[in-house]
Amino acid sequence: MRITMVMFLIALSATTFAQKKLLIESKDEIIETATKELTLAMQPPKGSLYLFNQEYKITGEYIFDITIREKGEVASVFAAGNEGGSIQQQNLVKDKIRNFEFGFKMPKGKTFKFQYIFKFN
């Protein structure tokens, strides 16, 4: 019984450890990592933004100012411009980005802002 309990606790702690996000403290590294994650999310066949595009048939190019905070959460998204797309589609993309969660965390109380261009065919 004790061995079973010990094994269970080891397995539980291993999964908890695996779920922790990497702490990144450098502004440049945070922005670079966030940009890479968004780029990967736009890639077929399983990127979340790629699948979103397949579902909603988004077209055009959208420029957003994105602010991220502590746990890799998106704090705000502001449209900085669009080309070839509608305001309705821009708002759909904006809402999707607002719910995007990055795979890293940052120092407490810090926010970082960067600009990203989303290109949809």
Give the DSSP H/E element, type plus range, for residue 22: strand 22-23
Residue 16: its pLDDT value, please?
47
Residue 7 lies in a domain: no
Q: What is the mean pLDDT of the chain?
A: 89
Res 105 pLDDT > 70: yes
Residue 27: its pLDDT value, please?
96
Find out whether 79 and 94 touch, Cβ atoms under 8 Å.
yes
Domain containing residue 61: 22-120
Residue 90: its pLDDT value, please?
97
25-84 tens-digit pLDDT: 999 999 999 999 999 999 999 999 999 999 999 999 999 999 999 999 999 999 999 999
Residue 2 lies in a domain: no
Residues in the chain, total:
121
Find out whether 79 and 63 touch, Cβ atoms under 8 Å.
yes
Here the CATH number for the domain that contains residue 60 is 3.30.2420
Residue 9 lies in a domain: no
